[in-house]
Amino acid sequence: MNVLIKSIFREIKNSIERYLAIFSIIALGVGFFAGLCVCRPALVHTAGKYLEEQNFYDYRILSSIGFSKNNTASFSDLENISSAEGAHYEDVLFTIGKNDLTFRVHSITDNINKLNIISGRLPETDSECVLDASFFDENMIGQTISFSDSNKEETLDAFHVSEFTVVGIATSPLYISGDRGTTSLGDGTITAFLFVNESCFTSDYYKEIYVTLKDSGALYSDAYKNAVAEQEDEVTKEAKIQANIRYEEIVAEAQKEIDDAKIKLDEANENLQAQKELAIQDAAQQIPNVGFPSLEENPYYIEMIDQIEASFEEPENELAEKYLDIEEAQKEVDSIKHPSVYILKRSENTGYASFEQDSTIIENISVVFPVFFFLVAALVCGTTMTRMVDEQRTQIGVWKAMGYNKLQISRKYLFYAGSAGLFGGIIGFFCGTVFIPRIFWSAYKTIYNFSERLLYVFDWKMCIISLGVAMLCTAVISALCCFKELRDVPALILRPKAPKNGKRILLERTRIWRRISFLHKVSLRNVVRYKQRFFLMILGISGCTALLVTGFGIQDSIQNVTDYQYQEIIQYDAKVTFTDSLTLEEQNQFIEQHQTMITDSIFLSENNIEITANGISKSTTITSAKEDITPFIHLQASDTIISYPKDEEIIICKGIADKLNIKTGNVVTLINDAFEQINVTVTGIFDNYINNYLFISENTMIQLFNDASVNAAYLNFNTDITTHNIVASILNEDIVSHIMLNEDIKESIEESFSSLNLVVLLIIICAGVLAFIVLFNLININIGERIREIATIKVLGFFNSESSAYIFREINMLTSIGALLGLFFGKLLHSFAMSKIKPDAMCFDSRIAWKSYLFSFILTLIFAGFVKIAMRYKLKKISMAESLKSVE
């Protein structure tokens, strides 16, 4: 083997710690970089595969009158359209336990939006159904669920059956997130979906048509968006045609009915007239015409005729009324509106859209962290290689004296650092790309249900970039270190490098200097002696602390959210939703009946609307209250109290305001479920972290919905009675559809947050590893360089603890400075990270508790402590004989 290569391997073996330091910082940097960068591709790839397998729709077409069953085929004849299928859906209240829960019942489509059966099977008969796997487990299979009695007549009429046996649980591409949407039934939210056979529905027309494209392109890609946009006009045109066909059918059918009815009526009329004629003729024959000039003047005859007329008056009037009815019906038919058509794309599907948004969160974060890690990596490598080259100055001189050229000599160092960088890069790349997306997925999995495991994505470009940066941080940096040294002539290199002079520092000119003990003086001078190391140390340690502050801060911001929300903002214990609007009498009755249990209550009117501002819209619930709502929900912005809106005003919660970029004073548009809209002025934005709230005055509600009748209430419970009993008693009321306990919401939210702890743990581990590598490497260099000094002070009679203190004092100083700076950086990093994490229906209170600052600071010192313990052992091992050795 080549001597040079041999020497390299020996070098690595002898200085394995140093080698590992470069290796691990590169692995960490690359792992973080590649891992975070691959998160979105991995998420999108997994979702893409799922949606492709389930054949997710590209267009969802709705019309105000639905589509006739025969005409879906015409969509598939369009260019670049692969298939089209019609579907039914209906929101139905089911009784589960004592609660009435709203389910959206869909018809199963054969090829589009295929269900992914998690357990059980697809329905075979009309009395079977498949349930939402996100909210029910396989224990439900075999159970029967039935329609609630509080369903409206038309809902019941929409189905042939009124109960289903659960035969399977499944996920649907229509619902990849946990959001099931809103409805006009119950409390306004849909609990879960339910799929049944198409033949369960009585309707003879489709509510919606799903259409898929032939060639569309990858999920969320521009190619896909273009492909969808390109075909949109065509599809819209066809949808209009189909809607018109349905329109004409309806009109024709109605017209036929009217015409038929008219014919019947005409017949009836003719009959009647004929009968009348006959009766009159009979009368003429019966009455003898004597003594009168004509029959018409005969009083008997006149009397007779009058009698007949009178007897026919009633049926004639009836007929006339019927004619009026028909006229009325004709008017109605004539006034049937031409249908409006809606072409919805995937981006209008809540799950699909929120997944796109959520997956970009990581992408945004993934820029900052790696840059920082790579900077540290470059510095670690730089200091290490500088030290190595310094140590081997004589050796380099010898190589040079023997006639090796610069490149040949530096090859050793390039290889040393480069191989550490390459191996670290490869290991880091694979570990990062495998584990980091998984960690994120385990947090996302609580929201998105479509896959247990995330698919692995290998990105060549990313791999090359990562390894390129790894090489830049190692080989290139060490080449720079080397060439600096190699510039000198061999004779100069062979001579020992003059030790870096002791320098007086600025502090010595001050009076404080005299009060400092000499041991501290050495440390203080050493701190500023090596600028590069000083910088590395500060960067590494402050980075560690900053990561910790961010990690703990994320926890704070999230944990505080539930506490703050349910202690400071929300004051009511439960929200009850009524099956129908309540009269004043019913309200009083309800309160009277639960007098002992309910300490306080307020009746509300709630409706679903879409709020639009600045081109962004969001569908949510809007509330109006008759009385003062503040005892139930504190409307505040920081410390300012927000007053309840007057007519044509609105106050909105911070979450929606942030999402829609709304400021106080803006005008926003509210759209009701019939697509009618009004404009209102925002008079306040109040603090709120969970769920979205919008409040308007009763008059505004009436203006929007023609109705502000009571359909919900906030309740406060008597704390002496167990909540369970109160809930049971309230649910026993027929008028109550649903009750929602804030305690339950709080619990379930806290549960879902617990997955974020994993992310926080990841951050803490990374911070620890970072601190460890930086400290270990620096202390290692420091000790290596000062072996002689350490041996000398040992000979001078410093106890082990004193000699470690002598070395570590400056490390402690730098650690403290770094950690203090880190607290500041941490605050910045935290607010950056928080600005990127914004889940739907939730907004975080970006704050860091002083305890977290303290913990981060202490934890940094503890990390440093671990390294120092390891290094103390190394210090202890330094032989005093080193002090006797000659200067190399």
Partner 1 sequence: MSEFITFDKVGKTYKVGEVDIRALNNANFMIKQGEICVIVGASGAGKTTILNILGGMDTMSDGNVWLDGQEISTYNEKQLTAYRRYEIGFVFQFYNLIPNLTALENVELAVQICKDHLDPLQVIQEVGLSDRKDNFPAQLSGGEQQRVAIARALAKKPKLLLCDEPTGALDYHTGKAVLKLLQDTCRKTNMTIVIVTHNSALCDMADRVIHVKSGTIESVTTNPNPTPIEQIEW
H-helix or E-strand containing 849? none
CB of 876 to partner 1, least distance (A): 9
Judged by beta carbon, residue 87 or residue 793, the one nearer partner 1 is 793
Query: Taking the complex as a whole, how short is the minimal distance between the CB of residue 458 and partner 1, in angstroms?
Result: 47
Residue 794, token pair as written in the block: 């040992």
CB nearer partner 1, residue 508 or residue 698? 508
Sequence-separated (6 or more) residues with CB below 8 Å from residue 845? 557, 560, 561, 564, 687, 689
The four Cα atoms 208, 212, 213, 218 give a dihedral, to 10 degrees, of: 120
Q: Measured at the alpha carbon of residue 650, what is the angle toward residues 698 and 683, in degrees to the nearest 5?
A: 130
- On whether the CB atoms of residues 137 and 116 are closer than 8 A, the answer is no
Q: How far is the CB of 433 from partner 1 (least distance, A)?
A: 44
Is residue 694 within 8 A of residue 624, CB to CB? The reply is: no
Instruction: Tokens for 51, please give them.
Output: 């949606």
C-beta closer to partner 1: residue 262 or 788: 788
Write down the least CB distance from residue 799 to partner 1, Å. Answer: 5
DSSP-H helix ranges across 213-349? 222-286, 299-334
CB of 137 or CB of 802, closer to partner 1 = 802
372 C-beta neighbours (distance < 10 Å), count: 20
Distance CA 803, CA 814 (A): 18
For the chain, helix, strand, coil in percent to 5 are 55, 20, 25
Nearer to partner 1, 255 or 883 (CB): 883
Burial of 270 from C-beta contacts in 10 A (0-12 / 13-18 / 19+): exposed
Q: Which is nearer to partner 1, 519 or 756 (CB)?
A: 519
Q: How far is the CB of 525 from partner 1 (least distance, A)?
A: 5
Identity of the residue, 390 or 649, whose beta carbon is nearer to partner 1 in the bound complex: 390
Q: Give CA 383 to chain center in angstroms.
A: 43
Rounded to an integer, what distance in angstroms lies between the CA atom of residue 839 and that of residue 835? 11
On the 0-12 / 13-18 / 19+ scale of CB atoms within 10 A, 598 is buried
Q: Is the CB of 799 or the CB of 850 nearer to partner 1?
A: 799
CB of 773 to partner 1, least distance (A): 26
Contact in structure between 787 and 882 (CB atoms under 8 Å)? yes
What are the residues whose beta carbons fall under 8 Å from the beta carbon of 858, sequence distance 6 or more?
Answer: none
- What are the distances in angstroms from CA 375 to CA 472, 473, 855? 11, 8, 25
Shortest distance (Å) from residue 401 CB to partner 1: 24
Q: Toward partner 1, which CB reaches closer, 525 or 618?
A: 525
Question: Least separation, in Å, of the C-beta of 527 and partner 1?
Answer: 10
Cβ of residue 807: shortest distance to partner 1, in angstroms? 12
Q: How far is CA 518 from CA 515, 645, 800, in A?
A: 9, 70, 18
The distance of closest approach from Cβ of residue 813 to partner 1 in the complex, given in angstroms and rounded to an integer, is 14
With residue 625 as reference, give the H or E element that holds it: strand 616-625
User: Which positions ≥6 away from 592 have C-beta within 8 Å?
Assistant: none
Minimal distance, residue 14 CB to partner 1, in Å: 16
Nearest approach, Cβ of 881 to partner 1 (angstroms)? 7
φ, ψ for residue 203 (rounded to 5)? -60, 145
Please report how close the Cβ of residue 777 comes to partner 1 at its closest, in angstroms: 21
Identify any residues that bridge with 680 across adjacent strands, giving them in sequence order. Answer: 668
Nearer to partner 1, 464 or 884 (CB): 884
Rg of the chain over CA atoms, in angstroms? 40
Nearest to partner 1 of 406, 786 (CB atom): 786
Contacts (Cβ under 8 Å, ≥6 apart) of 143: 165, 166
Residue 474 CA to residue 50 CA, distance in Å, equals 41
From the list 405, 370, 319, the residue with the least C-alpha distance to 33 is: 370
Nearest approach, Cβ of residue 513 and partner 1 (Å)? 11
Using the minimum distance from each CB to partner 1, give the nearer residue, 513 or 832: 513
Question: Which pair of structure tokens corresponds to residue 137?
Answer: 């487990």
Beta bridge partners of 738: 577
Our CB check for partner 1 shows the closer of 121 and 497 to be 497
User: Phi and psi for 445 in degrees, rounded to 5?
Assistant: -60, -25
Supply the DSSP symbol for 199.
Answer: G
Strand order in the sheet with 59-68: 81-87, 205-213, 59-68, 341-345
Residue 191, token pair as written in the block: 């609990």
Binding region for partner 1 (CB under 8 A) = 498-503, 517-519, 521-522, 525-526, 529, 788-789, 791-800, 802, 880-881, 883-884, 886-887
- Return the number of the residue (286 or 879) whose C-beta is nearest partner 1: 879
Residue 77 half-sphere exposure toward CB, CA atoms < 13 A: 6
The residue (of 97 and 499) whose beta carbon lies closer to partner 1 is 499
Nearer to partner 1, 286 or 800 (CB): 800
Comparison of 445 and 525: residue with beta carbon closer to partner 1 = 525
Shortest gap between Cβ of 488 and partner 1 (angstroms)?
19
Least distance in Å: CB of 501 to partner 1? 5
Minimum CB separation of residue 529 from partner 1 in Å reads 7
Tokens of 54: 């389930």
User: Can you tell me the distance from the alpha carbon of 652 to that of 247, in angstroms, rounded to the nearest whole number?
Assistant: 40
Q: For residues 844 and 851, what is the distance between their CA atoms, to the nearest angstrom?
A: 19
